[in-house]
A and B are shown apart, each in its own frame.
Chain A
């Protein structure tokens, strides 16, 4: 996979305990390129191969756009400091929704995904989105910014959310990770969004630490393990996995008996290829099994709404 970096030898780091960094900001082109590659890999032999292959194309378009665009306008320093002082997310979603640069990204993205093979429902939704008037588009952007995608117009919003992810990740990348502060348990410290899933990392210096992954801006932030990402409770946290697997489960449902919700947890320390959004969609089987329980899904991923 691309984005693999060999670790430079550093004798000074041997035997020293490092505190896991609080946040890891996305590198937009690499983020979407790795996601596209992971989707393509997961599609092989998967029962939902058609959908995964489509999303591989969609993420490939996100990556190509992120590579082609000029550097994003940085978030104003005073806004970052004000957010920091008030423990608020520095990426202002309302301001992002109103920016003309976002309109440009949406237009370029919806054009870039036109050649992708997709079912007629998706194609007509894309066509509808491309011809939506300004007021309609503003309303839809507002829905995506609120992480509230209406059921009656889901496919249009899915394309739109994918386009906005590109711009959100580009802007998140302009921040300084060291200046971020926790907003609240289970909320992204950059954009305030809920996580798609969380992952136990095997990254050097942070082995065994858990990072929640934001589907909106691609930021990953450190969260204490064995803690509900929906309500912050540490009581009654359990894990469910598909029974009868030959190998160790690398995707589990972290359930909370306090608020009766669950969020996926991916064990990247056991399989470094796991990608929060791609493997969230590919582990749809777990969502279907979890539908038979009385826990409700609290992870948010526009590509996997409705479970």
Chain B
């Protein structure tokens, strides 16, 4: 830790009134005062830089999101720039053209922000709540599995396969999410399945 500053803190706390600075001590107090007058009308603005993983593909490049405003300080944050994370071992700061256009993806008016359903016979998607969506998916999966699950093949060998439903999971996942996704799909007997755990 910086010894000089702790000493200043001590002097301040002790009420010694020693406000020594490099500028003041060298005889440039006027310059210091001019800077103080110059910045007086200004305030400080919070910005943030946040690490994340590019959601596009299973390469999972590291990215840095730049935002104006800091959510932790009770503000709203708006992403103003996204670039590759130079410290990330996978991409060392580089991004592919899709990754380099991520900011437009984040701010896109057509971005999917809630679950939607296209009902049989309909020509459009409608919003649906997460609860209703998950209930419906569970119901359909259960019915399909009850109808089509195959415990043994023609030769009587146990196979436990469910081939009429497939699952495609997203790429930007952690090891733990990938492991859980894999376990859920394989426990149900799903054969047609792909997720990050394959990579």
Interface, chain A (partner B; CB < 8 A): 17-20, 47-51, 54, 118-122, 125, 146-152, 154-155, 158, 194, 206-210, 224-226, 230, 236-244, 249, 252-253, 257, 284-286, 288-290, 292-293, 296-298, 300, 302-307
In the complex, whether B64 has a CB less than 8 A from a CB of chain A is yes
Cross-chain contact A51 with B28 (CB below 8 angstroms): yes
In the complex the two chains form, is A122's CB within 8 Å of B5's CB?
no
How far is B86's CA from A125's CA once the two chains are assembled, in angstroms? 45
- Nearest Cβ distance between residue B123 and chain A, in whole angstroms? 45
Map CB proximity to A onto B50-62 as digits: 1 under 8 Å, 0 otherwise.
1100000000000
Asked if residues A305 and B21 are in contact (CB atoms below 8 Å), the reply is yes
Q: Which chain A residues lie closer than 8 Å to B25 at the CB level? A: 121, 125, 151, 154-155, 158
In the assembled complex, which residues on chain B have CB atoms less than 8 Å from the CB atom of A297?
Answer: 2, 5
Partner of A47, one of B22, B31, B48: B31
Among A148, A158, A226, A292, contact of B26 (Cβ-Cβ < 8 Å): A158
Q: Report the Cα distance A257→B28, complex, angstroms.
A: 33
Least Cβ–Cβ distance between B7 and chain A, in angstroms: 7
Report chain A residues within 8 Å CB of B39: 242, 285-286, 288-289
Task: Please encode chain B, from 26 to 57, with 1 for each CB lying within 8 Å of some chain A CB and 0 for all others.
Answer: 11101110111111001111111111000000
Write 29 A-B pairs (CB below 8 A) sorted by A numbering: A19-B92, A47-B31, A47-B35, A48-B28, A48-B32, A54-B26, A121-B25, A147-B4, A151-B18, A152-B18, A158-B25, A158-B26, A194-B2, A208-B84, A209-B87, A209-B93, A226-B64, A236-B72, A238-B48, A241-B47, A243-B42, A244-B42, A244-B45, A285-B39, A303-B22, A304-B23, A305-B22, A306-B20, A306-B21
What is the number of contacts between chain A and chain B, taking CB atoms within 8 Å?
Answer: 175
Instruction: For A121, give the chain B residue with the smallest CB separation.
Output: B27
Would you call B23 and A48 a contact (CB within 8 A)?
yes
Shortest beta-carbon distance from A59 to chain B in Å: 14
Contact B1 A230 (CB under 8 A): yes
Contact residue among A208, A249, A284, A303 (Cβ-Cβ distance under 8 Å from B93): A208
**Bound state CA distance, A154 and B4, in angstroms?**
11
Q: Is B92 in contact with A238, judged by CB distance below 8 angstroms?
A: no
Residues of chain B touching chain A, judged by Cβ–Cβ distance below 8 Å, are 1-5, 7-9, 11, 18-28, 30-32, 34-39, 42-51, 64, 70, 72-73, 83-87, 91-94
A240-B4 contact given A49-B31, A225-B86, CB 8 Å threshold: no
Given the complex of chains A and B, what is the CA–CA distance between A38 and B88 in angstroms? 32
Supposing A50-B28, A225-B87 touch, asked if A154 and B22 sit within 8 A by C-beta, the answer is yes
Q: A155 near B35 (CB under 8 angstroms)?
A: no
Q: Is there contact, CB below 8 Å, between A148 and B3?
A: yes
Residue of A with least CB distance to B90: A17
Given contacts A147-B4, A208-B93, contact A48 B35 (CB under 8 A): yes
Residues of B within 8 Å of A119, CB to CB, are 26-28
Shortest C-beta distance, A168 to chain B (Å), equals 17
In the bound assembly, the distance between CA atoms of A85 and B63 in angstroms comes to 34
Q: Are A298 and B5 in contact (CB under 8 A)?
A: yes
Tell me which of A154, A226, A285, A305 contacts B50 (CB under 8 A): A226
- Of chain B, the residue at the smallest CB distance from A224 is B87
Assembly CA distance A305 to B12 (angstroms): 14
Contact of A306 among B8, B37, B70 (CB under 8 A): B8
Cα–Cα distance between A146 and B3 once the two chains are bound (Å):
8
Residues of A within 8 A of B93 (CB): 207-209
Q: Tell whether A241 pairs with B26 under 8 Å between CB atoms, given A194-B2, A209-B86, A225-B85.
A: no
A148 in contact with B87 given A50-B28, A119-B28 (CB within 8 Å): no
